[in-house]
Amino acid sequence: MTPYVITFVLMLGVFMVGCFALKWPVGVSMMAAAVVGAIEGGLGTETIRMMVEGEFGYVDTILTIASAMVFMKVIEDSGGLDALSSLIIEKFHKVPAVLLILIMFIIMFPGMITGSSTAAVLSSGSIMAPVLMLMGCDAVTAGSIIAMGGLLGMIAPPVNTAALIICAGIDVPYVGFTGPLLLLTFPLAIVIVLLLGLRKVKNLDYEKLKPALAKQDEIRKQYGFKIYLPFIALVILMVFFKILKLTEDLGMPVIFLLSAAVGLFTGKKINVLKTVPEAIRTATPVMAILMGVGMFIEVMTATGVRGLIVMTCLGLPSVLWLIVACTSIPLFGAVSSFGACSVLGVPFAYIYASFLGGNSVVVLAAISLIASVGDMMPPTALAGLFAAQVTGVKKYTLILKKCIIPIVILLAWAAFFLAKSKLIAGLF
């Protein structure tokens, strides 16, 4: 056994003990594994520097997630998300298929702006859960739709944390991802939600839904059009300024904070001193994971473990690369989908973008979609467990079984993008 293998096994062992035996948070377990790996790898006094550099490796992503969560919390507390849900249901209840698709997009929305499946499931997912069940979906089906919406939301643009992590690992700028990510996620979202829910909601009775939507309808009527202004501000700042080149890129954190500021005056009164700390507390677990991932990867690089993983992947027969990518990355994601992006996503990105000559943007987008499945893998299974919680399903495994076919479809779609990255890049 080589020194690199010993270091990697030790780091992985410390991480597993921290997560599952000591019940530490994922971020803390990764930090402990990084410290032990640095000491065993002979970094000595350089260990402290590695920890600091690694911790700040994803500072841009951390700022984006924090500001996005502030925006999400503001539109929740102001009633904006409730009003949008109510409007969509009222306008499209006569067309159940379209309504299901729009509900799926609402579930995805928080994940799209935070890069977190947990944010999607716990915010819009919890709002849509009773609506889905009133429409005729049983609890397991509703939970499955919410869980898959959380996975796709974390990968859809504009904020894809998994892709950002891989970009940082291979020094690729996070530019040009919007088109490929839209093509990756939105067709999947439509197919999956119709596959899971269409048979259940064909005979939708809108009159039964009205009492459950009374509160949302009241908010919408009380505040009128202005309740939607934060969403409009977000779109304008993200899209039109960039297209028309009216100003320099403001940066995602500033865009989210400006849109959140608009939301303070468009709906229910918000206590900023309460809402903002709550938003940051909600985002803290994800931000801590990113800090831990940064330290973990920094030490893996300095000790040569990362190079070992890359060379091991390259040593596999080329015919197995696609199969190994679609199985190993999600399985490692059972520990952390973000960790899987760093440990395994980066080597496979090198393989497909550099050695096989694929388009780097499409390759990274596809690998990030594969990594998202990790949030459904036990024992952590963040998306699945929280989806079971918000729908009242006692056994998360029931939701996982329901999602097996959608997950297979997702992996097949991602594999197609990996194999045909040049062809797909030509579309954009």
Domain edges within the chain: 5-425
pLDDT at 1: 62
H-only helix segments in 117-271: 117-120, 126-134, 139-155, 161-170, 178-201, 206-209, 214-223, 229-235, 241-244, 252-263
CA 26-375-142 angle, 5° bins: 135
Q: With cut-offs at 50, 70 and 90, classify the pLDDT of residue 356.
A: confident
pLDDT at 15: 86
Q: With cut-offs at 50, 70 and 90, classify the pLDDT of residue 249.
A: low
pLDDT at 245: 57
- Residue 187 in this model has a pLDDT that exceeds 90: yes
Residue-wise pLDDT for 95-115, tens only, equals 889 989 999 999 998 888 878
pLDDT at 155: 95
Q: With cut-offs at 50, 70 and 90, classify the pLDDT of residue 148.
A: very high
- Residue 287 in this model has a pLDDT that exceeds 60: yes
- Residue 382 in this model has a pLDDT that exceeds 80: no
Greater confidence (123 vs 112) lies with 112
pLDDT at 203: 67
Please give the model's pTM, rounded to 2 decimal places: 0.77
Mean pLDDT value across residues 290-318:
80
pLDDT at 241: 63
Q: With cut-offs at 50, 70 and 90, classify the pLDDT of residue 276.
A: very high
Q: Say how many Å lie between the first and final Cα of the chain, rounded.
A: 46
- The region of weakest confidence among 74-83, 223-232, 240-249, 344-353 is 240-249
Residue with tokens 């939708």: 204
Largest CA-CA distance found in the chain, in angstroms, rounded: 69
- The region of weakest confidence among 45-49, 222-226, 305-309, 370-374 is 305-309
- Residue 272 in this model has a pLDDT that exceeds 80: yes
Mean pLDDT value across residues 13-27:
85
- The region of weakest confidence among 105-114, 206-215, 260-269, 271-280 is 206-215
Percent of the chain with pLDDT over 90: 30
Mean pLDDT of all residues in the chain? 85
Greater confidence (190 vs 375) lies with 190
* C-alpha of 383 from chain center: 9
User: What b/e string do you get for 312-344 counting C-beta neighbours within 10 Å, with b at 16 or more?
Assistant: ebeeeeeeebbeebbebbbebbbbbbbbbbbbb
**Alpha carbon distance 82, 278 (integer Å):** 19
pLDDT at 378: 79
Q: With cut-offs at 50, 70 and 90, classify the pLDDT of residue 251.
A: confident
Residue-wise pLDDT for 39-70, tens only, equals 998 888 888 888 988 888 778 778 877 887 89
**Phi and psi, residue 127, nearest 5°:** -75, -40
Residue-wise pLDDT for 155-183, tens only, equals 999 889 899 888 887 878 888 899 999 99
Between the alpha carbon of residue 129 and those of residues 57, 180, 339, 400, the distances in Å are: 36, 29, 29, 17
Tokens of 144: 């499955």
Contacts of 275 (CB under 8 A, 6+ apart): 70, 73, 74, 77
Between the alpha carbon of residue 295 and those of residues 25, 175, 257, 361, the distances in Å are: 15, 25, 28, 25
**Alpha carbon distance 219, 47 (integer Å):** 54
Greater confidence (248 vs 302) lies with 302
Q: Check: CB of residue 302 under 8 Å from CB of residue 37.
A: no
Mean pLDDT value across residues 343-347:
82
- Residue 248 in this model has a pLDDT that exceeds 70: no
- Residue 128 in this model has a pLDDT that exceeds 60: yes
- Residue 408 in this model has a pLDDT that exceeds 90: yes
- Residue 407 in this model has a pLDDT that exceeds 70: yes
